[in-house]
Structure 1
């Protein structure tokens, strides 16, 4: 019997370590199919585009000469939350903002009027047949165009971001696109924006959900407004219909993603101006099922096993089994270290582990009491009292454990 119990203890301890090791190195993979990026091709010959470029000087002005409505488009492809470093990263596949410039329409018309080649006549015929002037005709490098004052610099920025990284691939450098109808579009590809994570509420961890907001604004405060483009509105609607599955968010489920134009009043020297921006709100819920299966249920099961040890006699190895179960609690606690920042309060998962520790310690105390009396005072009257005390332990311990567990859950959830 003793040999069989030792084998059982060894098997429990071995598989506990194996299970925890699997948890420690498991990763979550989220399927993600990125949105198809639009491919832009020049429609006009290079000579015409060079002529349009040389006649464009929209960036020489320090502020817009008239009211401009910037139409925004943001293709969000991935979210990453690094909780140990308190860092939140968003990955954008593509970001654009555009507006219609009447003067550019005139520049395009003049450039085409000076060219009577068959190629231009053919292009004009194709545009007429297309029935729309919303066609890309030229593209330029954004950085050099702004530096040379050819196009207006709106000084766009991600508010409160730590840093912004862009793709170094020459084919994916920011561009300015010119449309036949006089629209100027600023296009950015593959951006990574890093933010410092605000103080999230982890009290019901791992069943927690969090809200995050990122904002894109301009440092131009006069004659400038923001609005979502029709293309962006369609993308948001499609993303919502797909339950946000086209946005990769390992370890999290996106419950809400909205984007809207906002106006904030400025203070001090700029009090007469307003800051216009595009704000995006995200609500993310932690994928709690892996935590339930890998941590909470096993911890509760081990707690029940600790209580069940009260029904095993001392001669059948109760002390060894209790010691093994207590080590399992320590192992679970060790695996959870570093998953979230150090907090000044107890989370729901911490409370569950703490209650597991409590039932194990109480079972060990009961073991010590029983062992002490059996060793030194095992007589008739003492035997009856010990039997009553043992029955009391068997009844009181589960009531005490369940009451404290539910009390803690009620406190955290409500």
Structure 2
């Protein structure tokens, strides 16, 4: 059976970048990455694989597959992992702050009363921002399939994953597919070459990773107890948001029921305010978890500014702690031949999951007729053959959506 080549092991790691550079790159993405978690993956790939070449296709897919397995906001965790690989702990924090800051600030301002959702934004502009996500995700699926789903074996895994997710959507189905693909790759996959080196920074030690895991569980179980004993609303809010971020798989819209149970049922905010905040978050670039800033302001704490900061940290902290916990072990694990075979199957399945997401919800939400389809094709032409930066394509799509509506 032919060897599946994943590239030789480089003699030296890629050049290190500063945490400041990581912050600036993710700040750009935080300002322009419209379309939700699936689109974020496409934006990340365009920026860090195609343009900056911080990662190759295989290393990017490996990190994406890892983040799919972790509870928390998968796209934000992918960004944290990239930042950690390139600039250590400072890079992980810089990626988180840069990607989250724009939408969190806007959501906090909106919660103070400037607006309550997308109703004050032009419907055509919102339509254009949804259309550009189609082009971004389509290119991500195409490029990753060419690299990670070549041949009948890996291509078959990708196609099977697509069909299964379309027929039975849901986070549990996705996790089951990734596990099955990993087992299939481990047991039946072809031999693989050595993993490429992606870390340009020593990152954090294994001891620090284990300490992060310990903190994750201490906060998960300790915050409810502390809130009960101290009777402090801030602790109760922090605990509810932390629990939501710690127990959700897939992030994005999947977290909404958990959030509603954590903040509406105890009476921190009304159901009407929660729905209004969710509506506003749909029009934001960056992570949907920035809804936490709205919740922190709307919760009526004595200091709404610190409330917003507290809420954002509470919802994102579990995902960050888990990334810090697993990444020190990741580079060593991905070099082991059986793990490489399993990852080859998992990465092919990830391509299938993205293909299914391209259809639903990305395509079904954005494309309602020939005008939107033509706009999506124009965005793709600008993004890929013309290599226009993503922010320029976003502006074009927003104007195009306004014009055609």
- TM-score between the two structures when normalised by the length of structure 1: 0.23
Q: Which structure ranks higher in relative contact order (CA pairs < 8 Å, sequence separation ≥ 6)?
A: 2
Q: Greater share of strand residues, 1 or 2?
A: 1
Instruction: Report which of the two structures shows the higher radius of gyration computed on alpha carbons.
Output: 1
- Normalised by the length of structure 2, the TM-score is 0.23
Structure with the higher helix share, 1 or 2: 2
